[in-house]
Structure 1
Amino acid sequence: MNRSIRITSLFSLILILVLLANLTWIQGFRDDELAQNPLNGRGFFEMKSTPRGQISAGGQILAESHQDEQGFYQRDYVTDPEAFGPVVGYLSDIYGAAGLESGYNSVLNGSDSSLFTSQWLDVISGKPTHGANIELTIDPTAQEAAYEQLSQSGYEGAVVALRPSTGEVLAMASSPSYDPNQIVDPATAEDAWAEYTTQDGAPLLNHATQESLPPGSIFKIITTTAALENGYNADSTVTAASEVTLPGTNTTLTNYGGQTCAGGGTTTLLTAFSLSCNTAFVETGIDVGVDALRAAAEDFGVGQTYDLGLDNVPGGLGEIPDDAALGQSSIGQRDVEMNVLQAAVMAGTVSNGGVRMEPYLVSRVTGQDLSELSTHQPKSAGGIEPEIAEQLTELMRASERNTSGYAGVEIASKTGTAEHGDEDTPPHTWYVAFNNDIAVAVLVKNGGGFGTSATGGQVAAPIGRAVLQAAGGF
C-alpha cells in the first residue's frame, strides 16, 4: 500500500477513535451534567414548556410560573423578592439559573429520577406533566427581619439562623441583594444585569454561603475547644498581658486597643474568653498545637461544604508553617476563613450538646396536588464531646454578659472583629449566638460604616439579637 495512503488511513482511524472516545465520555459520563446546564438552550426551552413547581416557605409562595402568549412558562417571584432572592435565585431566558432554581432544577422541572413514579402515574392518568414543588425550611418572619436589619442600615454582609437540633435553616439573608424579577423579565433583564454585575457589594453573590472571610474572635470558640480537649478548663491560668511577641519574630500582637486583660499578669480562661483577650488565645493556641486546632476546626465543619442546593465555599485554616502563624490563626486571623453558614453551624453545634447537624434548606418535595413525594431527614455530621459543649456554653454566656447591648437574656454568644487589608481598612464584624434551639451568625463587612473602630459587639450583635428574637430564640 502507498505510504501516503497508509499514513492518511492511520490518521483517520485515530480521529475516529478519538471521536468515539469523546462521544462515549459525553454520553456515558456527562449526559446529565450537560442536559441540566442552565445554558443548554434546547433543554432550557423544554423546561419552559412544562409548568415548573412552586418554591414556598412558611405557607408563602416565593416563586411560581405563569404561561405567556407563546405557551411558554415564565417565572414570577411574588413574595419579598429581594429578601429571598439570593436563596431562591432566578430562571432567566438570557442568563440561565441561579440559587435553588439551579440547585433543584431537575426537581422543579419534573425531570429528576426521584419523580419517575409520580410522573409515570400522571402519564397513565392522562394528566399533563408538571414539575414538583419544594417547601423551604425558611421562616419568613426571621428571613425578613434578617434582611431588614442588614438592608435598612445599608450594610454589606449576611445573616444565617438555623435550628441546631435538626439543621433547618430558618433565615439566610444577604445584602446587598437583587430582585430576580428584573433579571427574568426580558424587558428589564439586560439593564438589570448590567447594574447588578457592576454594583458595589456584588448583589448577585450569596454572601452567606459563597464568600469566606477572616472570622476574627468568633474563631476563639474553636481554639477554646482545642484547649478544653487538651487539659484546659474554665479556671486554667492564661496570660493577661497587653501584648505578646510571636515566636521567632519581632512581631507583636495586642488585645483590642492595646489594653491589658483583667489588669495584666495572668487570668483565667473564663475571663480571657469573656473579655476576648487576644494574647491569651495566641499563647493557648501555640500551646495546644496545630494538629489540635485543625482537628477542632474540622469537628465544627470548617473546610467542608454542604448539599444545600446552593453553591457554598469551604473556608479553611490555610497554611500554618510555624508557631508564629499558629498564634495568628488561633485568633481567627492570617489565612483563616469561614462563611456565615459555617459560623452559624459552629454556634449550633455548641447549642446542640456538641452534635453538628447538616444544615438544609428544603424540607419537603410535593407533587402538583401538594401530596408529599419526599421529606428531608435530619443528619448528623459529627461534632464535639457533650462535656466540651457544656463548658463552651457557659463561656459564651459569660461573653454575652460582657457584650455591649446585653439585655439580661441568657444568650450564649461570641463577637468577632476581623482585621483585613491595611491599618486604615475597617474590620469585618461578626456575632454568633444561640438560645432556645435557635442559633444565629451575623457578618457585617468593613465595619458597617463605623470606621476602623467598629467592633462585633457594636455592629453585628444588635442584628443577631433581633433575628434571634424574631426566630423565637427568646
Structure 2
Amino acid sequence: MNTTTRRLASVVMVMFLALMVSTTWIQFFQADELNDDNRNIRKLHAQFGTDRGPIVVGGDAIALSTPVDDEFGYQREYTDGKLYSPLTGFFSLVNGTTGIEDAKNDFLNGQADALWVDRLQNLLTGATPQGSSVELTIDPAAQKAAWDALGDQRGAVVALDPSTGAILAMVSKPSFDPNELATHDTKAASDRYTELLNDDSRPLISRATAESYPPGSTFKLVTTAAALESGDFTPSTVVDAPSTYTLTGTSTKVGNYAGTSCSGSGEMSLADAVRISCNTTFLGLAGDLGDEAMQEQAEKFGFNEPFYVPFPAAASGYPTPPDTAALELSGIGQGSVKATPLQMAMVSAAIANGGELMEPYSVDKIRDAQLEVVEETSPTSLGQAVSEKTAEQLTDMMVSVVEDGSGTTAQMSGVSVAGKTGTAQHGADTSKTDPHVWFTSFAPADDPKVAVAVVVESGGDLGGQATGGSVAAPIAKAVMDAVLNG
C-alpha cells in the first residue's frame, strides 16, 4: 500500500470513527435532551396521541381525553374548567403543562415506572395504551359552595380535612378555562395564553397556593400559640390593651380597628383579646415573646417551607424581623409576614387536630386502565405544632370569636364553630388601598371535620368597609356547611 492510499485509508477511518462517536453521543448522551425538546414532533405526537387518563372528583371526570379526527387523535377536555383549574392546571400543545396535569403527567400518559406491567401487556397484546386515572380528594359540594360564595370577588378558599390533610376544596378567582389553552388550534391557544398573561387580574395565578398575602389578625392565632406554649401565659392571663401602641424605636402609633378602644381599663384577658381581635395587645405580646419564639412557632405551623400538593405551593414567610418594631408588627400579621390561604387553613387544621399538623395533599388514589390502585396517598404528620392543651385552649378562644366576638357571621345552627377574623393592610401606601379580609375556621369545634381559610382581596364588594367577619366569614360558613351537610 503506497503512501497516498494509506493516508486516504486513515482519513476514511477517522471519518468513520467520528461518525460513530457522533451517533453514539446523540443517541445516548443527548437522548433525554432531544426527547424533551418541545420542537420534537415525535414527542408531541406520542404525548397528544395517547388516551390520557382522566382526573376524577367525586367519581366524575373533570379532565379527560376524547377521540378526535386530527393528527393527534385525542383532545383534552375539562368539565367545569374554571371551577377546577387551580387544581387541574392545563395540558397544552404550545403552552406547556401545569397543575395536576404536570405533577402526575407520567401516570396520566401511562409512562410512570409503576405502570411497566401495563406497558408490557400492551406491547404483547397490541392493545392501545391508556393512561391512569388520578382521583382527587376534593369534595365537589364544598368546591361548588366555595365558588358560589366567593362570587365575583377576587380571592381564594381552601378547605382541609384536619385529621388527614386532604384538600376538600380549592378555589381561586378570577379563574380561567383550560379548554381554551388545550385546543389543538395552536394559534388560538397561544393567543389566549398571551391574553391571560397580560390580564391585570392574573387569572393564571392560583391565589390559593401561589399567592401570599399579609395574614392580618388571623396570624394572632400563631402569636397566641407562642404565648401559651411559653408557659408564661394562660387564656385568663391579664394583658395590656391600650387604645394605641407606639412601635419601639419609632414615633408610629398603631391603633385598633376603626380606632376603637379594646378596654376602658387598658387591660383584658388574653382570651378576650383574641375574641375581639385587639391589635395593641398582640403588638406588645410579640415584642415580649421575642423573634426566636415567634419564628419557631410560625415554622411549627408550616411557615418558611414550600409544600407539594402535588404541584408546588409557595412557602409562606415569617422572616427574622430586622428590629423590634418589625417584630411587634408581625404579632398582628403585618410587616414582612406573608401567608397563602393554604397555610392559614393549615393553622386552623393543626389546632383542630389536637395540635398535630398534617401534610396537605390533593391526590387520593391513582388507578391503572384496569382500575387497579397503583398509588395511594397515606396521611403524613409534619409534627406537633402545639401541645394538645394549647390546641384545646386555642379552640375555646376561637369558639368565643364566633359565639360573641368578631366572627359571629360564621355561626351555624346546631354546630359549634371555631374561627378567627382578619383584616390586613397592604401596599406601599396603605391609605390608598382597601384591606384584604380573612377568615380561618373549623367545625364542628368538638369533633372537627373541616378547616377553612378564606381571603378576599381589597375588601371585595364592600371595599374599605369590609371586615373578615362581614365578607370572609360567610364564605367559610358556606363551605363548612357543604362538607358537613352535603
TM-score normalised by the chain length of structure 2 = 0.87
Pairing 1:161-172 to 2, within 5 Å after superposition: 161-172=159-170
What corresponds to 2:394 in structure 1? 392
Give the equivalent residue in structure 1 for 2:220.
Answer: 220
Residue 155 of structure 2 is matched in structure 1 by 157
Aligned to 2:14: none
Aligned residue for 1:369?
370
CA distance in 1, matches of 2:462, 2:353: 34
The corresponding residue for 2:409 is: 405
- The offset of 1:192, in angstroms, is 2.6
The 5-angstrom pairing of residues 64-463 of structure 1 reads: 64-150=64-150, 152=151, 154-187=152-185, 188-230=188-230, 231-382=232-383, 383-401=385-403, 402=405, 403-407=407-411, 409-421=415-427, 422=429, 423-435=431-443, 436-463=448-475
Q: Aligned AA for 1:430? A: W
Instruction: Supply the distance in 2 between the matched residues of 1:38 and 1:89 (Cα, whole angstroms).
Output: 19
How far the C-alpha of 1:139 sits from its partner, in A, is 0.9
Percent identity, aligned pairs only? 39
| Superimposed CA distance per residue, residues 299-324 of structure 1 (whole angstroms, 9 cap, x where no aligned partner) | 11011122212231102113402211
**Per-residue CA shift, 1:108-145, capped at 9, x if unaligned?**
11112222233223333443222111000011111111
Deviations 1:189-218 (A, max 9, x none): 244324322223211111101111100000
> How far apart, CA to CA, are the structure 2 residues paired with 1:355 and 1:127?
47
Q: Which runs of 5+ in 1 are unaligned?
A: 1-15
Distance 1:440 1:181 in 2: 29
Equivalent residue of 2:302, what SS?
coil
User: What's the offset of the Cα at 1:404?
Assistant: 4.1
Residue 177 of structure 1: how far off its partner (Å): 0.6
SS of residue matched to 1:52:
coil
Q: Is the CA contact (8 Å cut-off) linking 2:65 and 2:75 kept in structure 1?
A: yes
For the 8 Å contact 1:36–1:105, the answer to whether it is kept is no
Counterparts of 1:215 and 1:41, CA distance in 2: 46
Contact 2:402–2:411, Cα closer than 8 Å, also in 1: no
**For this pair of structures, how many residues does the alignment match?**
450
Larger C-alpha radius of gyration, 1 or 2? 2
- CA 1:173/1:75 → structure 2, altered by over 3 Å: closer, same or farther? farther
SS at match of 1:193: helix
CA contact (8 A) 1:438 1:473 kept: no
Offset at residue 98 of structure 1 (A):
1.4
Q: What TM-score do the two structures reach when normalised by structure 1?
A: 0.90
* RMSD (CA atoms): 2.4
Residue matched to 2:12: none
Q: Deviations over 1:381-406 (max 9, x none)?
A: 11221111111101111111212425
Q: Which amino acid aligns with 1:389?
A: A
Partner amino acid for 1:315?
A: S
| Structure 2 unaligned residues grouped into runs of 5+ | 1-17
Confirm or deny: 8 A CA contact 1:281 1:330 kept in the other structure.
yes
Residue 93 (structure 1) shift: 1.2
Cα pair distance change 1:237/1:385, threshold 3 Å: same
Q: 1:41 to 1:162 in 2, by over 3 A?
A: farther
In 2: Cα distance, 1:405 partner to 1:264 partner: 28
Moved more, 219-228 or 74-83: 74-83
Q: What is the rounded CA distance, in whole Å, between the counterparts of 2:352 and 2:41 in structure 1? A: 47
CA-to-aligned-CA distance 1:325-368 (integer Å, 9 cap, x gap)? 10001110001000011111111000111111111111001011
